Amino acid sequence: MSIDPNMFRIESNDIPPEKGRLLLAEPFLPDLNFRRAVILLIERDEKGAMGIVLNHMFSNLTLNKVIKDLDTDLSIPLFNGGPVSNDTLFYIHTMEYIPGALPLQDGLFLNGDFDLIKTMIEEKKDLEGKIRFFLGCSGWGSEQLKNELNQNSWIVTEEKTSVLLSTPPRLLWEKVMTNQGGKYGVWAKYPLNAKLN
């Protein structure tokens, strides 16, 4: 049985890569930083683009280990946002009332007053499905992202805030890819290494 070579070719959907939109990695992107990554674009201008990988969680690093004076017994997951500025903390959330929060898309915000967020954590406010924390981000030069899109490395798409923050990280790429419909639903189920299937 032969596989159609077009099966794993991205078909351009003419959605421009803008702030608040997603980049979905093609299934076999070799760079480990971006393997099956779902990237939320947080900035896009003539100089380039910045984004945060939403679904690569650190296995042994939590927010508590990074923010030493965080007074909580909760173990708060921390995600690897990408290989750039990996000593910088970013957070995306649904709390529009946080002073200084930057809107990304409908109901989704970037950063803001960390002292207030820290207080909310320490007071054990229910933040489940409302916020995620990231170390680092991903960056592209002015033509770099355009070139990678032309090489079919990424699908540009949009997704609801509720899906981005409530879907378990290990299932997020599969969920968003499935939501693209058509052959992308097949991609979502395809194993990383077909030889191990």
Hey, where are the domains in the chain? Answer: 5-184
74: tokens are 């909760």
Tens of pLDDT, residue by residue over 57-99, are: 999 999 999 999 999 988 999 999 999 999 999 999 999 999 9
Strand partners of residue 92:
110, 132
Instruction: Read off the pTM.
Output: 0.91
**Architecture of domain 5-184 in this structure:** 3-Layer(aba) Sandwich (3.40)
Number of H helices, E strands in the chain: 6, 10
Q: Is the pLDDT of residue 197 over 50?
A: no
Q: Please check whether residue 153 is in contact with residue 82, taking contact to mean a CB–CB distance below 8 angstroms.
A: no
Distances (CA, A) of 65 to 74, 78, 91, 181: 11, 9, 16, 40
